[in-house]
A and B are shown apart, each in its own frame.
Chain A
Amino acid sequence: MNPSSGPVLSGSTAALCFCCILLMPCALGGLGLINAGLGRSRNVAHSLLSTICITASAALTYFFVGFAWQGYLGSQSHVWVVQGKLWSWIGSERFLLRGIDFDTSSYSLSVMFGMFAVGLAAVIPLGAAAERWRLSASCASTALFAGITYPLFAHWAWGGGWLAQVGTNYRLGRGFIDSGGAGSIHSVGGLTALGIAWILGPRHGKYQANGMPVAMPAHNAPFVLLGCILAWVGFLGLDCAGSVLFLGTEANRGTLVVINATLAAASAVLSGVCITRLRFGKADASLCANAWVAGLAASAGGCAVIRPAGAVVIGIVAGLLVMFSVEWLELRFKVDDPGGAISVHGLGGLWGVLGAGLFARSSPMANSQYQWLAQVVGIATLLGFVLPAAYGSNWLLNKVISQRVGLQAERQGLDLDELGTGAYPEFMIHNEEY
């Protein structure tokens, strides 16, 4: 594939890519179920409706401005010339998706892919902000996310931007690799989740006066575990489609992508089972579910370019990272993340970006030994640009409209307060824990 333009897809490859993209909403459904199940029963309907509304807000914003600023390989963009090298920093396509033929070209498929991908990334913060995030504020925050933060980073990584060009410009391997969105979807979503969790603060009653957290257990483990299976299907489609569209992977290499993603998730969940069994005596369902999704997130970075053994190592490390990160965030750093989104997607995604560089098969091209450095530059961009931008935009939004619901609404549950009816009307809720 010419790095400056998108791949030319044969009819069968385009059809396969189309079908893989159609699987992506399964990941949305999976994340929605996981977030709903990990929360308390008083907020279930609100959580699921928020998932749909956030997806809708992301899709509309992406239609209006998002794709124009993201662009695609070889499309028009604004460029800075830095010491003779071209730095493409933002796409300059037409707004409202004008001028697109909507055929089976890689360009058209990337629009379709992007519309699902931005929704998926935008739903991630809901896991960390659950049970205290206003529906209207979540939609407004998503519009900022899908209109600014996401398209910029997606352009840099996927749209032929400067990160993708560090390979040709500075001889850092193939440039930044992100075949399935470990950086563009998971890390961007996870770091935005961290910013929003900071702005909202912990849930009422989460911490005692002495700073010790109170357990607020998941209300529906079947939701969570079925959500994991659904997310697996969706992320397999995402990884395959992303590899074809952004790395120019041949369609027959899709088997490697699927095997790598599955191996990473499998090793992550089993490392989670082992760790929780060793530490607590029994396997913890919600932590193991988080490990499963973290394995999928981590494998998304290099699923098309690593060997299966590398995927297993990436998965094991992702599982371990999630186990300890969830605990550290809650106990030491007082970050209330009911869905584990920051650990699973933020940390798992960052590890996936780095893992892609560490375990990528060496290519015959020169300087492939510096692939890891291209990935580190990507991580530096995520921490140095995406996190402050996400926090800053949501901080400003919070000054305009309060993002957090009132104390009474939180006690009553968002189902009753914002929707007027509970998800389980036959049950009466009396305690804080449910």
Chain B
Amino acid sequence: MKLAGFLLMPAGWIIALAALVLLPSSASRTVFVLAGIGVELLGLFIVVRAHAISDRTQQR
């Protein structure tokens, strides 16, 4: 889970960069950059959850 989260973060970044380079119109560029941020936040959430669960397991 942790690895998946850490892979999603750069994936979101690449989506944002690709939107800048490939999309000509400002509207579609905005949507895809925000989508990239969404993917990154999903990855961050997964990593945060994975760490919280593993720390809790170690406490026990």
Contact = CB atoms under 8 A, between A and B. Distances in A.
Given A209-B59, A211-B59, A334-B55, A383 B12 contact: yes
A171 B24 CA distance: 11
Nearest to A210: B59
A385 B26 contact: no
Contact of A384 (B10, B58, B59): B10
Given A373-B30, A376-B33, A377-B20, A333 B51 contact: yes
29 contacts: A83-B21, A85-B21, A201-B55, A207-B55, A333-B49, A333-B52, A334-B51, A334-B55, A334-B56, A335-B48, A335-B51, A335-B52, A367-B26, A373-B30, A373-B33, A376-B33, A376-B37, A377-B20, A377-B33, A380-B13, A380-B16, A380-B37, A381-B16, A383-B9, A383-B12, A384-B16, A385-B10, A387-B44, A392-B6
A65 to B, nearest CB: 23
Given A380-B13, A391-B6, A82 B21 contact: yes
A217 to B, nearest CB: 21
Contacts of A202: 55
A110 B14 CA distance: 30
Interface size class of B (residues with CB under 8 A): 20 to 34
Interface size class of A (residues with CB under 8 A): 20 to 34
Secondary structure class of chain B's binding surface, majority of residues? helix
Nearest to A202: B55
A211 B53 CA distance: 10
A198 B51 contact: yes
Interface of A: 82-83, 85, 166, 170-171, 198, 201-202, 207-209, 211, 332-335, 367, 370, 373, 376-377, 379-381, 383-385, 387-388, 391-392
A379 B37 contact: yes
Looking at A85, A170, A381, the one whose CB has the most chain B CB atoms below 10 A away is A170
A209 B58 CA distance: 10
Contacts of A392: 6
Counting from the closest, the 10 A-B pairs by CB-CB distance are A384-B13, A380-B16, A334-B52, A383-B40, A334-B55, A384-B9, A333-B48, A333-B52, A384-B10, A198-B51
